[in-house]
Structure 1
Amino acid sequence: MYGSATMIVLSIGNGVNGFMLDPSIGEFILTEPNIRIKPRGKIYSINEGYEQFWDAATSEYVQSKKRPKTGKPYGARYIGSMVADVHRTLVYGGIFMYPGTTEAPKGKLRMLYESIPMAYIVEQAGGLAVTGTKNILDIVPKSIHERCPVFMGSKDDVQDVIDLYKKHGL
């Protein structure tokens, strides 16, 4: 991630670590060892401009976070950059969503170079990453630009989405 600082978040199959660039020596320094995503967060991240095109499970989930029956509502944060939105989800917990819509039933994020790499990082940090009905890491892509819906982040938040997909028979 590039910004006021440059960071690499990396997993080689045994957890997730964050390395910050130290420009004075030109090296990346381990600054965030063993990143773990919280089981439940307080933030949801989705482009609400597409709400009219969502399926019933996604609509119900977002409404449950905006207007919960008990407790405080989740905060809505959406940068529009998957890397930045997922990074925030890793750090603070919660859920990042890019669902399928009536206009794009398979979603817009590409599996091979967007969904699967981020799902790997999220799951290595203790979270979940699903399409709503399937674990993203269980999908075998059939083409280089194949797309899939995405719900990833804190285990309990993503499980809520899975439960709603089951409830709605999707």
Structure 2
Amino acid sequence: MSEIVTLQAYLDRWAGTDAGRKAVAGAVRTIATTGVGIADLVARGPLEEGLAKIRGTDPNAGGDAQKELDVIAEERIVTALKGTEVAFLASEESEELIPVNTSGRLVVAVDPLDGSSNIDTNVSVGTIYSILPYDAAAHANPAAAVMRTGSHQVAAGFLAYGPATILVSTLGEGTQVFVYDRDKADFFLARDQVEIPAETKEYGVNQSNVRQWHAPMAAYIADCLAGKDGPRAKDFNMRWVGSMVADAFRIFTRGGVYVYPSDKRKGYENGRLRLIYEANPVAFLTEQAKGAATDGKTRILDIVPHHIHQRIPLVFGSKAEVEKIASYY
């Protein structure tokens, strides 16, 4: 029988006696534990109907409608991280960085509740996080700590709240999957050193927007739809959940490619997903699993942010297919 490894044991083994790694391990464990409570709220479904209601009339910092559970999730994460070495939290829900523990050595960027438009439909939602080093002496403006390329991340991951509560994590040494066991009240390692297959016959995209796409993306999807009789010479399946954590976990499980391009609609000209809160952590996870992630052309982890809530197109998953999409551009 293979060794049974808890998340805490895995983090302890990785961190050893290194103070910096211990700080990262503490932040990851805290986010995962906080996610269990968020998952419990999500699991109540219609019994917590108010959690899906739009909060007020103003959108969040990223310009989207803010649900009640978005705010609750952010508040829980902020409160929990006060006991860690996280100095500041950058959140999709807040315009400015949130002070947490100003003597800390890390900054965390988080999408507290990815897929919140699906709260009331019993579809998987989740929490995405990115962890970067922070040095008060080097970063007079704390925002500068997150306004760096994604290659500076020291850890990243996401929790998916579905039939199982799943943590997909990287500490820069491969990508791991942990599953929360409710009977034992702990996360256990389910898959170590995840590898996304390089080739795939499955793509995920919101195809209802085809008329809005720019020519390269329209051409790529048209060739996929042509199947074995077209230039790709193989039949494709399309899968699209609409919560990125759910679509991402499918790719980390069996391969595929996720495509969220820019298009001609107002507000979508530069893409829709956030570079810092969504694209960077997912790109880090993907590359650590031998996949690839781009904005269609450029490697995500090489892109320098120009705004804390910057939006960007995102293509990630099976490496050969990501590269094929880039060839259309």
| TM bin (shorter chain) | over 0.9
Aligned-residue CA RMSD (Å): 1.1
Q: Of 236, 242, 248, which residue of structure 2 is paired with 1:86?
A: 248
Partners in 1 of 2:216 and 2:251 — Cα distance? 21
TM-score of the aligned structures, taking structure 2 as reference length: 0.49
Partners in 1 of 2:207 and 2:243 — Cα distance? 14
Larger-gyration structure (1/2): 2
Partners in 2 of 1:56 and 1:48 — Cα distance? 14
- Are 1:27 and 2:191 an aligned pair? no
Q: Give the CA deviation at 1:4.
A: 1.5
SS in 2 for 1:137: helix
| Higher share in helix | 2
Partners in 2 of 1:119 and 1:66 — Cα distance? 26
Moved over 6 A (4+): none
Percent identity reads 36
Partners in 2 of 1:47 and 1:123 — Cα distance? 24
Match of 1:147 in 2: 311
Partners in 2 of 1:15 and 1:64 — Cα distance? 33
Partners in 2 of 1:56 and 1:100 — Cα distance? 11
Q: Give the CA deviation at 1:140.
A: 1.2
Match of 1:134 in 2: 298
Residues 124-150 of structure 1: CA deviation (Å, up to 9, x unaligned): 100110011211110111111101111
Q: Of 257, 273, 277, which residue of structure 2 is paired with 1:109?
A: 273
SS in 2 for 1:36: coil
Query: Structure 2: which 5+ residue stretches go unaligned?
Result: 1-159
Partners in 2 of 1:92 and 1:66 — Cα distance? 21
Match of 2:66 in 1: none
More divergent stretch after superposition (155-164 vs 62-71): 62-71
Partners in 2 of 1:150 and 1:16 — Cα distance? 19
Q: How many residues align?
A: 165
Match of 2:284 in 1: 120
Q: 2:204 is aligned with what amino acid? A: S
Q: 2:180 is aligned with what amino acid? A: L
Q: Of 78, 94, 98, which residue of structure 1 is paired with 2:260?
A: 98
Partners in 2 of 1:118 and 1:50 — Cα distance? 23
Q: Give the CA deviation at 1:19.
A: 0.4
Partners in 2 of 1:89 and 1:74 — Cα distance? 15
Residues 100-135 of structure 1: CA deviation (Å, up to 9, x unaligned): 001222111011101111111111100110011211
